[in-house]
Chains A and B, each alone.
Chain A
Amino acid sequence: MRTQAQPIGGPLLTRGYIVLLTLAAIGILLILWRFAVGLGASTGLSDGYPLGLWIALDVVTGTALACGGYAVALVVYIFNKGKYHPLIRPAILTSALGYTIAGASVAVDLGRPWNMWKIPTYFWSWNLNSSLLEVALCIMAYVFVLWIELSPAFMEKWSVDGPPRLQRVSQRLLPIVNKALIWIIALGMLLPTMHQSSLGSLMMLAGPKLHPLWLTGWLPLLFLMTCLAMGYAIVVFESVFSSAAFGRRPEMPMLINLQKIAAWGGLVFIAARLADLAYSGNLHYAGRLDLYGTMFWIENVLWILPLVMMLAFPRPTLGSIFRGAMVVALAGALYRFDTYLVAFNPGPGWHYFPSVPEMFISIGLIALELAAYVAIVKRFPILAGRTLGA
């Protein structure tokens, strides 16, 4: 696919970048330590709260924030809005990095990660009832799909100035990948539809341990809706951030429209959620102002806030859509975090708070993701648009 994307260029090792690398290095050292001492000594996890920060934040929330590629691909390829094409490469890049980091988090979290290879290969043992199996297989496949979707960005550069062998391979492969891309991208929309909804199904199986304000047969649908809203929001967030950090001119009209989708999506989400709770007769739990009722309303307020902000300030500015996108991302993150940790009650006597190494491993992996993002956009044609003032 032809593109106007250009590498940003410029020096890599800025001061901020060194901070990122330091955090990443701390995270990686702690990961090595975690494998040496086991999960009991390195985390706050317990038999009551066997899933913690790494799953609720890095996987469940992180992959939703990595749904920008999915969300924009829907706009460009399904709703046929070709003009949004410049947004796609950076969105796919954040998706590829986000999902790769989520996969890494899972490997750190698993007790027996050396058995991971059996998940895709022991197909005769697959438990087709397991939402987690579906999530695992889909995410593994999706990481591959995302990097293939992104591979033209690398090959375009390498086919011009790569080392001779890489140059030859890139020149030969680029047209093949470009031709197959349509079916790969279709797969890149199917897989998130499946596993993002299954991340919701997964907690349906917690059954009565999950608070009734969160436990519903609509969990898969609600999770799908949140990942789309978060996907649009993160593209806005990232575009505004890139424009500020790298001095690019932002694609304002498009970003405004994406933010509109995200904001109205919040309203649809709340409507669906309240309707479902009213129908199931569990809405009365929302009237109790205990921890659960309070969190429920904080989530709902965050979901409606972007729309209120949008309607209250009808002339969107870069700042206003940035703030709106941040609130959408926060709303979705909180909803997902609550579903996995706050609304999950294993019974009296159990408590969970992540340990310091647990937090630094999460921080380190996120820093690694950001560092990779910056390095790739500086060296490869990802971001489109003109340099500001040039």
Chain B
Amino acid sequence: MSTDRRGFFKNIAAAATLAVLPATAAEAREKKVPPSDAVGMLYDTTLCIGCKACVVACKEANSMPADIDGYGQGLYDSPDSLNQYTKNIIQLYRDAGEESFVKKQCMHCIDPACVGACMLGALQKGKYGVVTYDVSKCVGCRYCETVCPFNVPKFQWAKVAPKIVKCEFCKERLAAGKEPACTEVCPRKAVIFGSYADLLDEAHRRLKNNPGRYVPKVYGEHELGGTQVLYLSHFEFEKLGFRFQQDESVPHLQQSVNHGVYKGFIGPVALYALLGAVMFRNRGNSEKES
């Protein structure tokens, strides 16, 4: 047994080495910044009247089918949340006399979890920092859905050859020099399109010029590493369904650890060499005793 115990402690030593690696590497990963050509949206709850023109425009621009599963009772398009038929939605928050509309679509994170998750890069941070989807590289694993802190990517559950459905910032319209369908149609300019930097300035200008009108922060400036869709709200963001207020991006922890362990693939190669060398030294022994 004594030798087993020694082996056991060797295991612990090896495990401890593995554990120290991520700890030392954890600070090495730099915070991601938006690309220089980053575009964005700015949504302002105090301006939105809930007309849902943006929802209709989004469906038309993206040729999305009507969602007749819900309140519409089979008669009219009536999605109640982002889903396999809906890339953009206006929701209503109502509680004890408080009311606010809120628009939901992909946040186009600066450091997106879905892009970190996707095996073959079907989801990618493309031109203008837009998170795009390429079905030819998608195996339908739904890991993007698992990791998205905003629950944005949706899966075509009803289909035999399902795809991921999410807002791609009307990337074809962008390429043609147009703005996204939702910002274009908004009659109250509650959601506006622009360069990320300009929109951030505009958001801070509104906060400064209208003290007391808003919760004093721009959601998406820092939250979850920053998002290219920015929000101003007159109610706490948690109430509008933004669950997480942390500044750290979702991929930060996982990639810090993985970059430490897998840096240059040296770790695995060294481990393989070590295993092979120890086995080579021990060769013959297992046959002898068997």
A contacts, CB < 8 Å to B: 1-4, 35-41, 45-48, 50-51, 74-83, 85-86, 109-113, 115-116, 118-119, 122, 125-134, 136, 182-183, 185-187, 189-190, 193-194, 197, 201-202, 204-209, 215, 217-218, 220-221, 224-225, 228, 257, 260-261, 264, 268, 272, 344, 346-347, 384
Contact = CB atoms under 8 A, between A and B. Distances in A.
A221 B17 CA distance: 10
Given A82-B290, A115-B139, A217 B158 contact: no
Interface stretch (B43-51, B180-188, B207-215, B278-286): B278-286
A73 B286 CA distance: 11
Contacts, number: 239
Interface string B245-288: 01000110111111001100000100110011011101101111
Q: Is the interface of B mostly helix, strand, loop or mixed?
A: helix
A373 B275 CA distance: 29
B197 interface: no
Contacts of A85: 286-287, 289-290
B4 A257 contact: yes
Contact of A206 (B10, B18, B84, B146): B146
B194 interface: no
B159 interface: yes
Contacts of B149: 207-209
Interface in B5-38: 7-8, 10-12, 15, 18-19, 22-23, 26
26 contacts: A4-B290, A47-B155, A50-B155, A78-B279, A81-B3, A82-B282, A83-B289, A115-B138, A125-B121, A125-B137, A127-B115, A128-B262, A186-B275, A189-B275, A190-B275, A205-B143, A207-B253, A208-B250, A215-B253, A217-B22, A221-B19, A224-B18, A225-B15, A257-B4, A272-B19, A347-B243
Contacts of B278: 77-78, 80
A205 B117 contact: yes
Question: Contact size class for B?
Answer: 35 or more
Secondary structure of the A contact surface, majority rule: helix
B57 interface: no
Contact of B157 (A40, A110, A220, A346): A40
A208 B158 CA distance: 29
